[in-house]
Amino acid sequence: MRRFLSVPAAVAAFLTADCRAALPMIEVRASDGDLDGAAMEVTWPNSTGLAAASTLSLAPLDAADLAVPAQILPGTPARLAWRLERPLKKGESRRYAIRLLPNPAEATMKCAESESAIELREAGRLILRYWKKPSPEAAENEPHYSRTGYIHPFLTPKGQSVTGDYPTDHPHQHGLFFAWTNTEFAGHKLNFWDQKAETGRVLHDSTVETLEGNVVAGFTVRLRHEDLVLADKPTTVLDETWTVRAWRAVEGEGTLVDIESRQVCASDRPLQILKYHYGGMAIRGPAAWFNPVKDAEPPAAFFTSEGKSRTDGNHTRPDWVAMTGPADEGGSATVAIFSHPENFRAPQWVRLHPAKPYFVFTPMVEEGFAIEPDRESPYVSRYRYLVFDGKPDPATLNRVWLGYSKPPAVSLVFEQP
């Protein structure tokens, strides 16, 4: 059953003055490095009486006029989320007072679901679209290339897509997608990546929930990885859950999106992920980032956290990879992907294609592994995406990586300011 979680306008009427007086302060400490625009979260106790509210702001005690929106994210436990409003140097700390807004404004971070897709927007601007049903482009390709359960387009603040779909050279690549390539199940080979082989496929199953507010918009969906070897009776091999969260933008940074994938076996049989040079969480760039002329200079470029490029970065193990290419209206557009340090075999190997605008985090480059039939121990992958106009700046990307890999210390302080 799907839940819709939005901003309840009536919450303030039920909060007593005593409850508001008991609200804690928030303290942030930059322990590992400088922070600027970081995406912040802290576990939020239900005892405050605000677990269902997202009509909040945080006011720095040293600059109350710089209050920023805050939002309670549902879950067990709930979490309070916001974006850091100004830089915080390493070793420094800052305290915030929590304010309950008396006249809640309409959410600026929106999630809209239709029969065919789910869209995330900020102040009306499209951030991304997730496909529940085949897109119009699917009808222009062979039926076996039709796909659901992926993201396209994925847009910079100026509206430039950093993803492509059904590219003429590789129509089995679809925006931002997850697919294993060389696998074995129940004694036979399956390829979920190469749709032309028609042995496996990945598709959208159902929507679990959607979320919107003034800091985060997102959704949780279920996908299925199916065995097509017996064409008359597809068999679900993996059940997958995506949790997608888009963060309110901060000036000059771009759009920040987090994706968590959780895969579990759908039966009592494991899925063997065999050694291979690509497969996993992938992204395909737009058509303008590919030159089909043999040996031509690719329009798109790769940069990694280790200072490597397309020519020397393939099958290395960086913390992040940035892919950049020309924008339609001039200039450049970039997508950087950060692989969480708790991911399996982190830092994961990356496949950087020598000519095409795609790359994929590939944990089985040197050795295979198995996703076992234990629903209590899912295969979890977490990635952060930063999409922006312009070329990549290593200092900025390293700062975003620090905020993701080593979140700043955040605590609740139950005392009066």
- Judged against a pLDDT cut of 70, whether residue 248 lies above it is answered with yes
Q: What is the mean pLDDT of the chain?
A: 91
Centroid of chain to Cα 31: 25
Q: How confident is the model at residue 1 (pLDDT cuts 50, 70, 90)?
A: very low
C-beta separation of 182 from 279 below 8 A: yes
Q: What is the pTM of this model?
A: 0.93
Quick: pLDDT tens for 162-184.
999 999 999 999 999 999 999 99
Regarding whether 132 and 51 lie in a shared domain, the answer is no
pLDDT tens digits, one per residue of 11-62: 333 333 344 446 889 999 998 999 898 999 999 887 666 655 558 999 999 9
Domain that holds residue 344: 111-405
- What confidence tens digit (pLDDT) does each residue in 283-305 have? 999 999 999 998 899 999 999 99
Domain end residue (candidates: 82, 105, 128): 105
- Same-domain status, 59 and 23: yes
Kindly state whether residue 1 falls inside one of the protein's structural domains: no
| C-alpha torsion sign, points 210, 248, 71, 31 | positive
Q: Is residue 12 part of a domain?
A: no
Instruction: Indicate whether 99 belongs to any domain.
Output: yes
| Cα dihedral 153/157/159/164 (nearest 10) | -30
Q: How many domains does the chain have?
A: 2
At residue 220's C-alpha, the angle toward residues 218 and 221, to 5°, is 130
Last residue within a domain, chosen from 88, 105, 122: 105
| Same structural domain, 124 and 252 | yes
The residue-averaged pLDDT of 368-382 equals 95
Amino acid 11: pLDDT: 35
The per-residue pLDDT for 181 is: 98
98 and 116 part of one domain = no
Same domain, 95 and 120: no
Same domain, 264 and 394: yes
State the CATH number of the domain containing residue 229. Answer: 2.70.98
pLDDT of res. 6 = 40
Please tell me whether residues 229 and 352 are part of one structural domain.
yes
Question: What pLDDT, on a 0 to 100 scale, did the predictor assign at position 20?
Answer: 45
> Is 385 in a helix, a strand, or coil?
strand
> pLDDT tens-digit profile of 92-151?
999 999 998 877 778 899 999 999 999 999 999 999 999 999 999 999 999 999 999 999
Lowest mean pLDDT among 25-39, 202-216, 273-287, 330-344: 25-39
| Last residue in a domain, options 55, 74, 105 | 105
- Verify that 72 and 153 share a domain, yes or no: no
Residues 206 and 93 in one domain: no
Indicate whether 43 and 180 sit together in one domain.
Answer: no
Q: Is 90 exceeded by the pLDDT of residue 187? A: yes
Q: Rounded CA gap, 240 and 148, in Å?
A: 13
Instruction: Answer yes or no: is 9 within a domain.
Output: no
Assess whether 101 and 115 both reside in one domain. no
Q: What sign results for the dihedral spanned by CA atoms 384, 120, 359, 134?
A: positive
Q: How high is the pLDDT of residue 15?
A: 37
Local confidence band at 252 (pLDDT 50, 70, 90 cut-offs): confident
Position 187 in a domain = yes
Q: Are residues 116 and 181 in the same domain?
A: yes
pLDDT value at 4 more than 80: no
Residue 156 belongs to some domain of the structure: yes
